[in-house]
Amino acid sequence: MEQYQDNNLMNQTQSQDFEMLNIKEIVNLCLAKWYWFIISVVLCLAGAIFFLLRTPSVYTRTAEVQIKSDKNGNTSSDLSQFTDLGLFSTSASVYNEVLAFSSNMNMVESVKRLHLDLNYTTDGSFHDETLYGKSLPVSVDLLDIDENRSVQFDLNLSKNGGYRISDFIDNKVKLDAEPVSGVFADTLQTPLGRMVVTPTVHFIENDYPTIHVHKTLLASAANRYGNALSVSLSDKQAQVIKLSINDISIERADDILNTLISVYNENWVADKNQMAVSTSAFINERLSVIENELAGVDSDISSFKSENLIPDVQAASSLYMSQSNEINAEVTNLNNQLYMTKYIREYLSNSSNTNNLLPVNSGISNSNIESQITEYNRSLIQRNNLVESSSESNPLVIDLDRALEGMRQAIITSVDNQILALNNQISSLSARGRQATARIAASPTQAKYLLSVERQQTVKEALYLFLLQKREENELSQAFTAYNTRMIDPPHGSSIPTSPRNRMVLLLALVLGIAIP
């Protein structure tokens, strides 16, 4: 047993000596060929440095906005069945705004406003230098080139306010055309159409290198910047959205983020005002009808007074009016509500209004119905926006259509119940009114007729004034619609490029230089 342990110990010692011998041989071999390592490391580092010089630096800029809470709407009991679909929850609303910021439509509008489909570059020592903002001396307006056309040309500036355009390329086809020259702010006819070259506020009389102007397709430019944009929910509880974009120009990245937020706010206000516009059209239509009816009633009263020599209606019906003032006031108020409720019911029954917004603030004294209509309009706007960016066959659109139909039926049921309740109240008050009129059965026929016509006049006047007030309220609410966002952090970021990562590239080159030999 002891002999076996001695043999095992001897074998382990010999194995360790052999491994040490191999390591020494490898080290000695590397030291003997040290110049190969130096050459490999130098070449790899030189290649890495050349790569870094040839690659434009990319910067990341970030902005944060907070979505304001909508405190005006509460989901009614009749619509609570739709909350499990996520149509009215706060989180769903915030995620919808994340998608809105990411939409191609908003990016296309931002690219249009900033003219980002026009790229200005100059030849640099290792790569093209992008001109934008403070570094851009002139801007070019292409008057005859639409957004679906790609062109290129070279622009040479002179100190005396002139310029020369050459090397025309139209849709990747180089044109055989002579260079053309012009002066700033003049319209110049070129082989690509009319152009206007205007100096920016950053233009100085200096020797500028050749500026390469490249007008890309608007859709391509929007896709390029859209792919560089990242939209995420920074804080779900605080409803904060984080916008980040990568670009080789810090100034351009900041402009894109600011413009994108402005475009989003303007679109949100436009969507919000759709309900106000629909309500305004509804009120104006009813005002026109009531105005004509009121003119007819006034004409009847005037004619009757002239024919029957009754100058004072109050004198003829003072007894009835003194006994039924309270009843008339209540009936007038109920008639206003019944009139508006019936019209809303007719509007809902018309199939041509299926995809139209329902009038809000219409005068129905039922907070439940008004809340239902408000929630229905919000969901309909969401559905219409989704159709614009996709199609009616989109599964999300189909789900929303089903939900909207259920909501519409719930509103119809509530309106029918409201009409029934109003009719019952009016019938009860009318019975009391008939008891009052029985006391003046001996009054002249003219007084009775004028009493009936005057009641119509009172109802229509009250309804007309009521609609005028609602129209003014609606216009004021439309004029003071506020933006949906609050800027938490304006565009900001580090001045150190996020790509390429210089230290990482040099480290990899060093490791590769050591590993190759």
Contact (CB, 8 A) for 231 and 243: yes
Average pLDDT, rounded, for the chain = 78
Which of residues 81 and 369 earns the better pLDDT score? Answer: 369
What pLDDT does 75 receive? 38
The region of weakest confidence among 76-80, 140-144, 319-323 is: 76-80
Structure confidence by residue, pLDDT tens digits, 209-255 = 899 999 999 999 999 999 999 999 887 677 889 999 999 889 999 99
Contact (CB, 8 A) for 67 and 485: yes
What value does the mean pLDDT take over residues 16-36?
58
Handedness of CA 263, 265, 270, 271 (dihedral sign): positive
Which ranges in 33-63 belong to alpha helices (H)?
34-54
The single-letter code of the amino acid at 247 is: D
Output the six-digit token pair for 266. Answer: 């303007």
Which residue has tokens 């007084």?
447
Output the six-digit token pair for 496. Answer: 């150190």
Contact (CB, 8 A) for 286 and 416: no
Q: With helix as H, strand as E and coil as C, how does 104-130 read? A: HHHHHHHHHHHCCCEEEEECCCCCCEE
What pLDDT does 166 receive? 93
Distance CA 77, CA 421 (A): 19
What pLDDT does 442 receive? 45
Contact (CB, 8 A) for 483 and 268: yes
- Which residues in 115-192 belong to E strands, given as ranges? 118-122, 129-131, 138-142, 151-157, 162-170, 173-174, 180-183, 187-190
Name, in order, each residue with C-beta under 8 angstroms of 350's C-beta and a sequence gap of 6 or more: none
